Structure 1
Amino acid sequence: MLLHEIKLKNFRQYYLEQTIDFSRSSNRNVTVIHGENGSGKTALLNAFSWCFYGKLDLPNAKEIINEHAVRVARPNVEVECSVTIKFSDHEKMYTLRRRVIARKGGNDTVYYGEPEVLLTFKRNGNIETISNPTDEINRILPENLRTYFFFDGERIDNLSKDNSSGEIKNAIKSIMGLEILERAVKHTGDASTRFRSELKNYGDPKTINLIEEIEKLERQVGELKSRRELLVKNLDATKKQMKETESKLKFIEGSQQLQQEKEQKDDELAEIQSDLKKLQKEIMETVSKYGYLAFSYTAVNQSEKIINEKESEGFGIPGIRSSSFIDDLIQRGVCICGVEIKENSSHYEHLLKIKEFLPPQSLDSAIINFKTGIKIVKDARQKFYEQLKDLKQKEIKSQTVERRLKEEINEIKSKLNEKDSEEISSLVSKLEKLEGTQSQIEREIGGIDQEIKQLTSQLSDKEKEQKKVSSIASKAQMAQKRIDACQTLIQAMEEIYNIRESLVRLELQERITNVYRQFLRKGYEITLSEKYELNVVNQNNNKVGMSQGERQITSLSFIGAIVDLAREQYKKEIKSAFEEGGIYPLVMDSPFGALDSDHRERIAKGIHKLSDQVIVIVSTSQWRGEVEGQMKELIGKEYHLKYNDPRINKDQPYEYTEAIEVI
């Protein structure tokens, strides 16, 4: 998708009609729009969201029509406010217009009509109207991604804050094709349910009973998953409130130092608890894999005893050490005693009977191999004990540190409670309640996870039992085949999803790292965890606290990486159905606001690489200097927002903005 132009008519402070063309050049892909504070930069960014999705994130959002246009209108005359955007996608040229008509009453009351949306595209010289514009817009640029491609630089830092993992995961799923797989799994599951209902109509009583039990289990699992999803949202909200409360404590005199100490201890506790979980998982895996060696003691000792006794007594028949010796005698046809050996003779049968008690290889070799095997088992058992001992010692050490940190945190809480401040006491009390809520929710989620696991196991058993029950009708057999096909397909798609998700995360990690290194001067590294959290660590691999500017750079790195990966997939000559990708524009309002001079220069130098089309809306003060110096050779289009201040311009005593192209 590439933006061609935007027209604003009486939209907020844009009086009458203002048009901005966007650069689509491959080597000058940047459009710069700059103006003074209050000139309509944020309104311009919101014009995109309003036109595409009807969303407006501005003060007095209902007052969308230019105030002066309404004031000068005669009574009972309609005033139109509209935003029209022309854009191309997959070789189609689209025109999208959203408008509102207002009518001024006789007593200056303004009556707003409902917004109207019109989406057309040109094909073979003909203009066609799309009857379902919302669906088509969401196909091209999903609404849940609008804040990534039309983003406010002053708020972009939210992606690097705590509790943003859900937002990040949704963005990745939408852009990288993972959402298609999720929907496919859901729809296939729905189909399987329909076929199972069909089977009830034709199956025998036992089959019907099993199906009803399966449906009941599926409903229970579905209800638990819905409950879990709600709890996760509540948990995220609780954590957010905790962070806000802790942040307030940091800025109250008398609690600053204690709260900072507590946050440091909290981080250390989170890190040690994470290490503890990994250790416990490693212990479980080690015991699961090698635990059988602990029970080998008796068997090994008994085997050694038998071998030693037999070696002292002598094995088998003296002089005959393997079955191959008997084979040689039979082949020669003469026994060691000189008797001729004929097939089916008594001598022949005797030799075959002896052969049954002999090893196929040399007995000496077999004994050596057996002794070697026993030694390997003993060594492995000793290694298992040592490894388990080492892991348990580490676990005990981590648990000791965990207890110490919890005690220190509780001590800090006590000191905070002792502070003679009603505000501090109130915040500490609130924080303790939130911590209790967090623990309660986490316990409930854990219980639900265990219940889902048990029900899923029961469901699997019932489904297997259902397959074994013979059906009495051909239609029932067909329905069962369809159910089996759906379940096989769901399993295959879930495996593809897991593989695809892992690959996407690895590819994104590489790109985020590359972009981050270009933008941030510090030697920090950025990681995208399995839980879709953006974490920044220092040289010692410790998570670091970031300034607003550093958080902004972190969020920008993620957006740039995901847009870059989507673009690469789109341009692949050979790609799967899940690698459709796409070309996405980046429209950024004030991306340099919270940055120092050096970081502004770094961002300005590399921002054009993030997308095939970059539109930067920036204040004049941010634009001048290092930003203009780095970007001037990349600019394809440039506009200045000229704002009329009615307090200064007495000839035109109303507020309006003009978009003037800079040649």
Structure 2
Amino acid sequence: MKLRQLSLQNFRQFRDEVIEFARGETNNVTVIHGSNGSGKTTLLNAFTWLLYEDVDFDTRPDRLASEGAMAGANAGDEVTVSVTLEFTHDGAEYTATRTAVYEKQSSTDFDGTLEDVTLAVGYDDGSGPTKLNNPGNVLSQIIPERLSELFFFDGEDIDELAGIDNQDRIQEAIQNIMGLTILERATRHLETVAGRFESQVQESASEELRELIDEKQSIKSDIEQLERKKEDKDRAIDRIRTEISDIKQKLSRLDESAQLQEKRSEYREQKEKLEADVEEINSQIKDTVTEHGFIPLAMPLIRDTADEIDQLREDGVIPSELSDDFLDSLLEAEQCICGRDLEPETAPYSQVSSLRGEVASDGVEQGAMRIVGHLRQFSDGHAAFFDEVDALIERRQGKHEEIDELVELIDEISTELQDLEGTTPDGESISDLETERERKEEEKDQLIADKGGIDEKISTREEEIEQLEDDISDQRDEREETRLAQRRQQAAEQVQTELTSTFETLKDRVRSWSNQEVNQTFGAIASKDLEAEITDDFELKIWQSVRNDRVEVDKSTGERQIASLAFVGSLVKIARRRYEDDSNTEYFTGGIYPLVMDSPFGALDKDHRREVSRILPELATQVMVFATDSQWEGPVEEEMRDIAGKQYWLDFDEGDGEDRSPQTQIKAEQTATAGN
């Protein structure tokens, strides 16, 4: 999808305005300059209203009709609101227009009553204009609504993508842009189908089978309730972590507490590093016990076996040579000492018989001595095992002692902060902030513990379901309709399992691609010692290099915004590459999408504004940026003035006075009032 032109008629403060978009290979950025309140957010909403009939205005969201048009109309007159977008897609020219008709009810009515909304989409692939009969479906296929927040977003809100524990939005964005949602929906649908077949089984099943199914469904209901409770805990944890982060930010900005807050952050980083070391030592202890832990348990038996073999050798029971009498006894018994049959005229019989009359150069006694030697080597392994485990336990104890010392230092800092008398600009005292932080930390720990308990209950109930499914599968019902429903249920469950596995594999593959792109894009913008990562758990994290180690850093608003922009840009790049790739893909093909961003520079300092400006054209094949004059001045203008293919200024008139209403004109040249 490549944008060509946007036209607005009576849409909020825009009476009759047009924007043509930059479409060059290098000059692919369209810049819209405007002060706060001049209409930048309205333009962003014009896209979503046209495509999805959806708007997100902070004030009077239901008022779409121009106040000026409504003021000039008489009671009973109709005012037409429309947004038209011209674009190209897959080699065809499209024109999409959404129109709303409002009727003015009285002389003081400036909102009007909505009478009708229509959507029309026409396209021309070179064979002549054609009007489509299903315009909504066409637009949904070109740029689905589930992708709208990725391509049409307010830059001041996008940093939420990199917010604390926002895995769900990251996962959703990845599967949405790559078309993986269809697989997720298919698995959910198959689960419903399997449940329907199970209900059919239940209707015609024997009493015993019916009771098993009833019990299984009851447990599934319990699990669903537990999952809802777990989601509630997750939301509460996310909320309280955000609140804790906000308190930390406030403390770090106050001169009285900044140094203490910095020291505490340093101590916490050291503590987290030590805790990771403890986990590694625990893993080493586990591996050592797994590999050699049998030695202490087997030592008594090993010693007894070695002593017994040695005694047999000394008593002559184990001969030093293989005598003919011993070999004759084996041949007569027709059985070798290894247990193999020795039947006459067979190869094994001939091999043993051929030893008669010879003296083995390495007799049984020597073999027994070697066995005794090997067995007694376990004694050395026994000592080495305990030495290794003792050393690991001693190292772990040392780490625990260091952790305890850091915990004391952290507690001391908390006490010092509570004794400080400084206040924030909002009048909050340092003491109260620290007390509140501690309370929230305790609340967070309790929530995490509660969530762990719920996870344990879910795991137990899932094991019970697995056992019930085995019991249900073992039931044999003679009724044909029951057997048929069971086979259908099992088929649906098997396909669901296969699709779920495929979905998870593809999602993780795209996560890996996104991680590479995010880190590369973020690295081009952020400080050199910072890197971004999409973890295996779909968290968007920022790491800092500290003494040859990686430490997760608390993301400032600016860093979150950069990480979020890098993430969105990486998804757009991946989608474009998949679309342009000649190889066939089984589940997703990607696509070419524009980026329309309102105030992407708002929370950034000058250096980061410069880097974001430099990288913006690379995020998508076509970029549209809204910026205030203060955001544009300086590094943004220096980087973008030569790459901006189109620039427009929003000339906003508040409409003070009689017979005048608020109105914004879109001008291709900067005027004296623009930005004021």
Which bin holds the TM-score, normalised by the shorter protein? 0.7 to 0.9
Counterpart residue type for residue 191 of structure 1: V
The 5 Å alignment of 1:468-617 reads 468-540=474-546, 541-545=550-554, 547-617=556-626
Structure 1 residues 443 and 651: CA distance shift in structure 2, 3 A: closer
Unaligned runs of 5+ in 2: 333-341, 671-676
- Structure 2 residue 646 is the aligned partner of structure 1 residue 638: yes
Q: Equivalent residue for 1:72?
A: 72
The 5 Å alignment of 1:379-458 reads 385-419=386-420, 423-424=428-429, 425-458=431-464
Q: Distance in 2 between matches of 1:342 and 1:452?
A: 61
Q: Equivalent residue for 1:189?
A: 191
Q: Equivalent residue for 2:162?
A: 160
Q: Equivalent residue for 1:214?
A: 216
Q: Distance in 1 between matches of 2:575 and 2:385?
A: 47
Q: Distance in 2 between matches of 1:172 and 1:376?
A: 56
- Structure 2 residue 666 is the aligned partner of structure 1 residue 659: yes
Counterpart residue type for residue 217 of structure 1: I
Q: Deviations over 1:502-539 (max 9, x none)?
A: 32222222111221222235332222222322222233
Q: Distance in 1 between matches of 2:263 and 2:402?
A: 16
Q: Distance in 2 between matches of 1:441 and 1:396?
A: 29
State which of 169, 172, 175 in structure 1 corresponds to 2:174. Answer: 172
Q: CA deviation at 1:227?
A: 1.8
Q: CA deviation at 1:375?
A: 7.4
Q: Deviations over 1:174-197 (max 9, x none)?
A: 223443333232222222212211
Q: CA deviation at 1:87?
A: 3.9
Structure 1 residues 277 and 72: CA distance shift in structure 2, 3 A: farther
- Structure 2 residue 123 is the aligned partner of structure 1 residue 126: no
Query: Is the contact made by 1:35 and 1:620 (CA closer than 8 Å) also made in structure 2?
Result: yes
Q: Equivalent residue for 2:16?
A: 17
Q: Number of matched residues? A: 641
Structure 1 residues 511 and 58: CA distance shift in structure 2, 3 A: same
Q: CA deviation at 1:455?
A: 1.0
Structure 1 residues 472 and 387: CA distance shift in structure 2, 3 A: farther
Q: CA deviation at 1:73?
A: 2.8
More off after superposition, 75-84 vs 214-223: 75-84
- Structure 2 residue 468 is the aligned partner of structure 1 residue 467: no
Q: Distance in 2 between matches of 1:538 and 1:309?
A: 66
Q: Distance in 2 between matches of 1:378 and 1:9?
A: 91
Query: Is the contact made by 2:77 and 2:104 (CA closer than 8 Å) also made in structure 1?
Result: yes
Q: CA deviation at 1:372?
A: 8.2
SS of alignment partner, residue 123 of structure 2: strand
**TM-score after normalising by structure 2:** 0.81
Q: CA deviation at 1:428?
A: 4.0
Q: Equivalent residue for 2:205?
A: 203
Q: Equivalent residue for 1:337?
A: none
More off after superposition, 451-460 vs 569-578: 569-578
Q: Distance in 1 between matches of 2:384 and 2:122?
A: 71
Query: Is the contact made by 1:68 and 1:655 (CA closer than 8 Å) also made in structure 2?
Result: yes
Structure 1 residues 235 and 548: CA distance shift in structure 2, 3 A: closer
Counterpart residue type for residue 556 of structure 1: L
The 5 Å alignment of 1:260-275 reads 260-275=262-277
More off after superposition, 434-443 vs 209-218: 434-443
SS of alignment partner, residue 664 of structure 2: strand
Query: Is the contact made by 2:55 and 2:61 (CA closer than 8 Å) also made in structure 1?
Result: no
Counterpart residue type for residue 245 of structure 1: I
Counterpart residue type for residue 578 of structure 1: Y
Structure 1 residues 430 and 601: CA distance shift in structure 2, 3 A: closer
The 5 Å alignment of 1:89-100 reads 89-90=89-90, 94-100=94-100
Query: Is the contact made by 1:11 and 1:83 (CA closer than 8 Å) also made in structure 2?
Result: yes
Q: Distance in 2 between matches of 1:450 and 1:377?
A: 40
Q: CA deviation at 1:329?
A: 10
Q: Distance in 2 between matches of 1:606 and 1:152?
A: 18
More off after superposition, 525-534 vs 385-394: 385-394
Query: Is the contact made by 2:414 and 2:434 (CA closer than 8 Å) also made in structure 1?
Result: yes
Q: Equivalent residue for 1:618?
A: 627
Q: CA deviation at 1:445?
A: 1.0
Structure 1 residues 350 and 148: CA distance shift in structure 2, 3 A: closer
Q: Distance in 1 between matches of 2:111 and 2:13?
A: 19
Structure 1 residues 250 and 596: CA distance shift in structure 2, 3 A: closer
Q: CA deviation at 1:449?
A: 0.6
**TM-score after normalising by structure 1:** 0.83
SS of alignment partner, residue 129 of structure 1: coil
Q: Deviations over 1:614-635 (max 9, x none)?
A: 2223345655665455446645
Q: Deviations over 1:225-259 (max 9, x none)?
A: 12212221122112222223343444567555444
Q: CA deviation at 1:279?
A: 4.7
The 5 Å alignment of 1:324-339 reads none
| CA RMSD of superposed structures (Å) | 4.2
Q: Distance in 1 between matches of 2:504 and 2:376?
A: 41
Counterpart residue type for residue 551 of structure 1: R
Unaligned runs of 5+ in 1: 331-340
Q: Distance in 2 between matches of 1:382 and 1:391?
A: 14
Q: Equivalent residue for 2:39?
A: 40
Q: Equivalent residue for 1:236?
A: 238
Q: CA deviation at 1:460?
A: 0.7
Query: Is the contact made by 2:594 and 2:622 (CA closer than 8 Å) also made in structure 1?
Result: yes
Q: Distance in 2 between matches of 1:268 and 1:52?
A: 50
Q: Deviations over 1:128-167 (max 9, x none)?
A: 2327x3x765554444543321223333333333233332
